[in-house]
Structures are given as C-alpha cells and as structure tokens.
Amino acid sequence: MKLGSCAREKEVKDLLERGHWPEACAPDLRLHVSGCRNCGDLVLVTETFRNARAAAAGAAKLGSPGLLWWRAQLRRRNAAVERIGRPLLSAQIFALATILLLTVGFVVSQARHGLGWLTWLEGLPEAGTLHLGNLWPTALFDPSWSPLVLVPAVATLVLLGGAVVYLVSEKQ
C-alpha cells in the first residue's frame, strides 16, 4: 500500500472507468467514498472531467462531410485564383502603363508641332499619286515624326497591348 492511498481506490477507479459509478456499486463502497478523502477526490475529479468532455463534445457540432469538403475545395480554389491573379494584375498594369506612356508621348510630340499638326494631309494631293511608294520613304525619314509613321506605330502597340491583356485575362 502506498503512502496516502486507499485500499479501495482501485475498485472505485475501475467503476469510474467503466461508467458504472454510482449506479452499479455496492452501498458500502458509496459510504466509503463519502468518508475517504482520496476516493472522494478521485470521484470528484473524474466526474468533473467527464462532464467537461461531454459539454465540449456537445458544443462541437460538425456539419455534413459533403458541406465541409465543398467549403475546403472552395477555399482552395479561391486561394489558387488569388495566387494566379497577382502576376496577371501586374502584367495588366504594365500593359496599361505602356499604352498610356505611348499615348502621352504621341500627344506631346504632336503638341510641339502646334495647331497645324494635321498639315501633312494638305501635302497629300501635291505628291502626285496617292501610292504609298511615293509617301513612305519621305515619311519614314522625316525628322518631325510624321503622323504617317507615328499613328500606325502607336495603333500597333495599342493593339498588341490589348491582345496581351486579353490573353492574360482569358487564362484565369
């Protein structure tokens, strides 16, 4: 026998573990537990923990497994879309910034020419025939960045930028 332990403590412990306390125990054992400090403490602590466990298990109501699985899949899918969306957003911002920069550059270059920046249209009938062969070399090497070269270049960059933004957005 250990110091501070009771001879009937093992019997009380067995009844508590099986869940038979106090219904399936002898009246003399109940009388012993009410008088013995060690056995009384054992019953008190065990029943307190058992009640706390039952309360915690009752409070944790889980939903149906299908609903839990669906929510987990939805969270995983949303996290993946968010991870994919970050680089796409930066590519879209880059394309938009490039288009805006080119547009501002076009407006600034045309503003330097003053209000008569469309005067190149007046020179078209003087060229004789309206073949691009006659206009292209002079427009290509004109130091004033004639709109005959600048407009198609800006339009091409805008179209390519729009195509990039569309293709990047389509993969989402």
pLDDT at 99 (0 to 100): 84
In the numeric block, which tokens belong to residue 105?
């550059």
Q: Does residue 64 belong to any structural domain of this protein? A: no
Whether residues 92 and 20 share a domain: the answer is: no
CB 88 within 8 A of CB 168: yes
**Degrees to nearest 5, angle at CA 24 with 20 and 41:** 60
> How distant is the alpha carbon of residue 7 from its chain centre?
62
Q: Does residue 70 belong to any structural domain of this protein? A: no
Confidence of residue 160 (pLDDT cuts 50, 70, 90): confident
pLDDT at 93 (0 to 100): 84
Residues 6 or more apart whose Cβ sits within 8 Å of residue 10: none
Whether residues 120 and 89 share a domain: the answer is: yes
Q: Does residue 2 belong to any structural domain of this protein? A: no
Whether residues 47 and 84 share a domain: the answer is: no
Whether residues 44 and 82 share a domain: the answer is: no
Encode pLDDT of 69-127 as tens digits: 999 999 999 998 888 777 777 778 888 888 888 888 777 777 776 656 556 555 555 55
pLDDT at 77 (0 to 100): 93
CB 109 within 8 A of CB 150: yes
Long-range contacts of range 96-102, CB-CB < 8 Å, 24 or more positions apart?
96/161, 96/165, 98/157, 98/161, 99/157, 99/158, 99/161, 99/162, 102/154, 102/157, 102/158
Q: How many domains does the chain have?
A: 2
Whether residues 88 and 25 share a domain: the answer is: no
Encode pLDDT of 90-102 as tens digits: 778 888 888 888 8
The whole-angstrom separation of Cα 118 and Cα 144 is: 12
Kindly state the percentage of the chain with pLDDT values over 70: 72
Q: In the predicted model, is pLDDT for residue 59 greater than 50? A: yes
CB 46 within 8 A of CB 16: yes
The whole-angstrom separation of Cα 70 and Cα 113 is: 63
pTM here is: 0.34
Whether residues 107 and 140 share a domain: the answer is: yes
The whole-angstrom separation of Cα 139 and Cα 87 is: 39
Whether residues 13 and 91 share a domain: the answer is: no
Q: Does residue 67 belong to any structural domain of this protein? A: no
Q: Does residue 4 belong to any structural domain of this protein? A: no
**Mean pLDDT across 136-142:** 49
The whole-angstrom separation of Cα 100 and Cα 94 is: 10
Number of H helices, E strands in the chain: 6, 0
Q: In the predicted model, is pLDDT for residue 130 greater than 50? A: no
Whether residues 135 and 93 share a domain: the answer is: yes
Q: Quote the domain boundaries for residue 47.
A: 9-59
